[in-house]
């Protein structure tokens, strides 16, 4: 057990786990998140039954509840992930402990990946703690287990991508506030501006540039998630030679590339490099 722990749990990761889970804020934040998700689910069920004027809840309503919960949780994930990672390195710099951390035997890759994983681990815990809420959907049918697995894998990819961007700017920028603002700004550009630009292109060009609009909106997580639920949704953007291409086919490799590039850049710029002297 000790050999396994030494191999997978490095001192940086162990310290982050202990500090994060020892405070009362973590269980309170988890409780508050579950209460919000639970109230959203119960509120949707109440409104659906009230509007239909029936006392039952059919599979079609259950499917719409699943879409509603998935979209609401995606918004919360996009909002929380940058906040958890945008200060992991700049916070150490502000506390004047970064130099001490850099003098240890831990490599830059170990420090960056440990900071990223420890920050996102709490987000993973929160998201997977909502599984009992999703069990409401399975009581009434309309959703397959494969769709549920796909949605949670989608959440993980979004968290890693946004978390990697947050760690990168936390490494490059000295102040946590500035890093947080820039991270949210990049997130808004990727997830809001691209969607609005796609809608604008479709409206102005009268659907003649639908492929360009599809490429832009393929970056948007909400549109990509809808394409997982409704395969025909992608046909609004991709036809003729583009037939068969789904929005999530663009979303997944793009975010994998962003995550890899952001992590590599954060590792590269973590340790200060002196300028070469010329003789």
pLDDT (tens digit, 9 = 90+) per residue, 12-44?
A: 667 766 777 777 777 888 888 888 888 888 888
Q: Would the pTM of this model clear 0.95, i.e. be above it?
A: no
Band (pLDDT 50/70/90 cuts) for residue 263 is: very high
pLDDT (tens digit, 9 = 90+) per residue, 110-161?
A: 888 888 888 888 888 888 888 888 887 777 766 778 888 888 899 999 999 9
CA distance 117 to 55: 45
Chain-wide mean pLDDT for the chain?
81
The structure tokens 């809808």 sit at: 226
- Short-list 76, 65, 237, 221, CA closest to 154: 221
pLDDT (tens digit, 9 = 90+) per residue, 163-219?
A: 999 999 999 988 889 999 999 999 888 888 888 888 888 777 766 677 777 888 888
Q: Is the dihedral of CA 241, 245, 251, 256 positive or negative?
A: negative
Higher pLDDT, 19 or 102: 102
């Amino acid at each position: 057990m000790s050999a396994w722990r030494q191999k997978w749990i490095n001192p940086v990761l162990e310290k982050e786990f202990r500090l994060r889970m020892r405070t009362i804020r973590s269980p309170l934040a988890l409780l508050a998140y579950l209460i919000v998700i639970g109230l959203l689910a119960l509120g949707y069920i109440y409104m659906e039954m009230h509007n239909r004027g029936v006392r039952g809840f059919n599979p079609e309503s259950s499917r719409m509840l699943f879409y509603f919960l998935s979209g609401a949780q995606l918004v919360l994930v996009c909002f929380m992930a940058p906040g958890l990672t945008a200060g992991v390195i700049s916070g150490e710099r502000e506390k004047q402990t970064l130099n001490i951390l850099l003098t240890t035997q831990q490599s830059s890759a170990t420090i960056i990946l440990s900071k990223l994983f420890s920050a996102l681990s709490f987000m993973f815990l929160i998201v997977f703690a909502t599984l009992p809420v999703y069990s409401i959907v399975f009581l009434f049918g309309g959703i397959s287990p494969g769709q549920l697995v796909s949605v949670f894998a989608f959440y993980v990819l979004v968290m890693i991508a946004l978390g990697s961007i947050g760690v990168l700017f936390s490494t490059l920028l000295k102040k946590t506030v500035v890093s947080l603002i820039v991270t949210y700004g990049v997130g808004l550009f990727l997830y809001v501006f691209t969607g609005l630009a796609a809608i604008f292109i479709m409206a102005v060009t009268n659907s003649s540039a639908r492929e360009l609009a599809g490429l832009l909106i393929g970056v948007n997580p909400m549109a990509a998630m809808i394409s997982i639920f409704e395969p025909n949704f992608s046909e609004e953007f991709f036809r003729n030679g583009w037939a068969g291409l789904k929005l999530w086919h663009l979303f997944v490799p793009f975010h994998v590339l962003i995550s890899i590039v952001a992590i590599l850049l954060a590792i590269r710029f973590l340790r200060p490099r002196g300028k070469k002297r010329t003789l």
